[in-house]
């Protein structure tokens, strides 16, 4: 019998790393089986410890929009590495990256660079509270904004009440100002503002949500978020860690035509290196230290290697036609999956924007988290493992979005659809 190197590494990892992984979803807990330990990646593929190749539809959960090992990015990173890893003093490249980001996201006049999406969302929240002098915040069920205490919260009982911690180690006091509402529910949103609008610091939202698979804010809901924030003097914060430079060159705000007050970015802006950012109007951003009273800092913030990687990535994605090609590719994938499912009579629905997509094992596209979570786990797991066995790696959880990169070829997409077709036959029979 051949040795399964993934299994061997997983057993070894579990003795030294909790659950064998450094971020929970990697552990395959929801889908069962052995996580694949990745040894290398190139273009649209990565390889596991058994040297099995996979077509990669997670792309490091979003950042790898150019595919793995893009030559221009590799060259920029290699050059940066020879100049030093980190200085703890400012560099010109940080200005260049800030300028590049601001040129593409018109709602932002200033930006601060940090190292993770969690840090960026947490800092944007502190800034919103500091700038408004208010405490309460709104978040939506199914949106993820990283693992800061105040944002790890599920809905309370009853409408527009304050939420409960979703994690051990978060005291109820840490979430006592967080109101959790149903996504796309305008009536709840209006009620929350009617009750608490005077002390509302901000509303934070994934305007195209990628942490409950793929769910769009309806145009009316997005518009009401903007209007109610303006009306009550609260800041509208778009968490675009996933959607920024992913659903289009100007993010979800560009797609929806809505201008938020603050924007949180991550993933693509680092091109696979630890880099994230938050930004907005000058008058708000200048309330941050060292000018203002809202403290925020980071040893590795604006890291010279990460900024080189981010800049090279932004240069490539800003080239004319990039998003048209990426969107077309993603549409070919989801439409192909849909046709294959239809042909076998398997209930299926799909959505995509730019290089981000979702699919559901039921006919109607869901509007909120509760509906997404009605997905039959066993059927999703059959699809997931069937694809994995055929060399296609999708997110190992039904509530995650998928990502297509510029490196995915027509042949990769055709092979993915063909692999899915075979599994749809099994699903149709059950
Ligand atoms: N916000 C959103 C919308 C995200 O999708 C994520 C991560 N998936 C985060 C924040 C947190 O980012 P990080 O994992 O870099 O801390």
Q: Answer for the pair 260, 253: CB distance below 8 angstroms, yes or no.
A: yes
* Per-residue pLDDT tens digits for 14-45: 999 999 999 999 999 999 999 999 999 999 99
pLDDT band at 207 (very low <50, low <70, confident <90, very high): very high
Residue 260 has pLDDT above 90, yes or no: yes
Q: Global pTM?
A: 0.97
What's the first-to-final CA gap in the chain, in angstroms?
32
Which residue's CA is the closest to the ligand 1 atom numbered 1? 145
Query: pLDDT digit string (tens) for 59-78?
Result: 999 999 999 999 999 999 99
Q: Sorting pLDDT into bands at 50, 70 and 90, what band is 158? A: low
Residues 6+ positions from 69 with CB-CB distance below 8 Å: 41, 42, 43
* Pairing between β-strand 136-140 and β-strand 178-181 as defined by DSSP bridges: parallel
Q: Alpha-carbon distance 145 to 121, whole Å? A: 6
Average pLDDT over residues 75-84: 98
Give residue-wise pLDDT tens across range 84-111.
999 999 999 999 999 999 999 999 999 9
Closest atom of ligand 1 to CA, residue 239: 3
Contact between residue 46 and residue 40 where contact means Cβ atoms under 8 Å apart: yes
- Ligand 1 site-directed mutation target among 21, 26, 117, most atoms within 8 Å of CB: 117
- Taking the CA of residue 23 as reference, the ligand 1 atom at the shortest distance is 14
* Secondary structure class of 90 (helix, strand, coil): coil
- pLDDT confidence bin for 280, thresholds 50/70/90: very high
Dihedral sign for Cα 212, 242, 207, 215, please: negative
The Å distance, Cα 144 to ligand 1 centre, comes to 7
Question: Higher model confidence: residue 3 or residue 289?
Answer: 289
The pair of structure tokens assigned to 269 is 């802006």
pLDDT of residue 289: 98
Percent over 70 (pLDDT), the chain: 99
Q: Which atom of ligand 1 is nearest to the CA of 206?
A: 3
Q: Judge if the beta carbon of residue 382 lies within 6 A of ligand 1.
A: no
Give the CA distances from residue 175 to residues 119, 135, 166, 371, in Å, rounded to whole numbers and listed in that order.
Answer: 17, 11, 10, 25
Q: Which domains does the chain have, with CATH numbers?
A: 5-69+321-429 (3.90.1150.10), 71-317 (3.40.640.10)
pLDDT band at 156 (very low <50, low <70, confident <90, very high): confident
Across all residues in the chain, what is the average pLDDT? Answer: 97
pLDDT at 159: 60
- Catalytic annotation, residues: 144, 239, 267
- pLDDT at residue number 1: 58
pLDDT value at residue 310? 98
Ligand 1: which of 114, 139, 144 to mutate, most ligand atoms within 8 Å of CB?
Answer: 144
pLDDT tens-digit map of 363-375 = 999 999 999 999 9
User: pLDDT value at position 157?
Assistant: 67
Given a cut of 70, is residue 11 above it in pLDDT? yes
């Amino acid at each position: 019998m051949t040795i399964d190197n993934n299994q061997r590494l997983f057993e070894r990892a579990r003795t030294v790393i909790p659950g064998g992984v450094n971020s929970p979803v990697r552990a395959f807990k929801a889908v069962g089986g052995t996580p694949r330990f990745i040894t290398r990646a190139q273009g649209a593929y990565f390889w596991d410890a058994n040297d099995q190749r996979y077509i990669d539809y997670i792309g490091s959960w979003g950042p790898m929009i150019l595919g793995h090992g893009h030559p221009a990015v590799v060259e920029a990173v290699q050059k940066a590495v020879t100049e030093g890893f980190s200085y703890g003093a400012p560099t010109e490249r940080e200005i260049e990256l800030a300028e590049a980001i601001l040129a593409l996201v018109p709602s932002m006049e200033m930006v601060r660079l940090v190292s993770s999406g969690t840090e960026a969302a947490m800092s944007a929240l502190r800034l919103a509270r500091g700038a408004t002098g208010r405490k309460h915040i709104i978040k939506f069920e199914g949106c993820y904004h990283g693992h800061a205490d105040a944002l790890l919260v599920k809905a309370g009982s009853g409408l527009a009440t304050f939420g409960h911690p979703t994690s051990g180690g978060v005291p109820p006091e840490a979430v006592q100002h967080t109101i959790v509402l149903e996504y796309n529910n305008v009536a709840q949103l209006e009620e929350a503002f009617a009750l608490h609008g005077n002390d509302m610091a901000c509303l934070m939202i994934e305007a195209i949500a990628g942490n409950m698979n793929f769910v769009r804010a309806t145009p009316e809901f997005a518009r009401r978020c903007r209007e109610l924030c303006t009306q009550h003097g609260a800041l509208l914060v778009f968490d675009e860690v996933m959607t920024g430079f992913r659903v289009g060159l100007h993010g979800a705000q560009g797609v929806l035509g809505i201008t938020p007050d603050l924007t949180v970015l991550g993933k693509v802006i680092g091109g696979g290196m630890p880099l994230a950012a938050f930004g907005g109007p000058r008058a708000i951003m200048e309330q941050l230290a060292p000018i203002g009273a809202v403290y925020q800092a980071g040893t590795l913030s604006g890291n010279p290697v990460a900024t080189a990687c981010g800049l090279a990535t932004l240069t490539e994605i800003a080239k004319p036609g990039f998003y048209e090609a990426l969107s077309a590719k993603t549409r070919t994938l989801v439409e192909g999956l849909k046709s294959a499912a239809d042909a076998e009579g398997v209930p299926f629905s799909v959505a995509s924007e730019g290089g981000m997509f979702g699919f559901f094992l039921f006919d109607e596209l869901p509007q909120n988290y509760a509906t997404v979570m009605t997905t039959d786990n066993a059927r999703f797991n059959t699809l997931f493992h069937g694809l994995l066995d055929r060399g296609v790696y999708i997110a190992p959880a039904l509530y995650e979005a998928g990502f297509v990169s510029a490196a995915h070829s027509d042949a990769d997409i055709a092979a993915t659809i063909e692999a899915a077709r075979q599994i749809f036959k099994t699903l149709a029979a059950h």
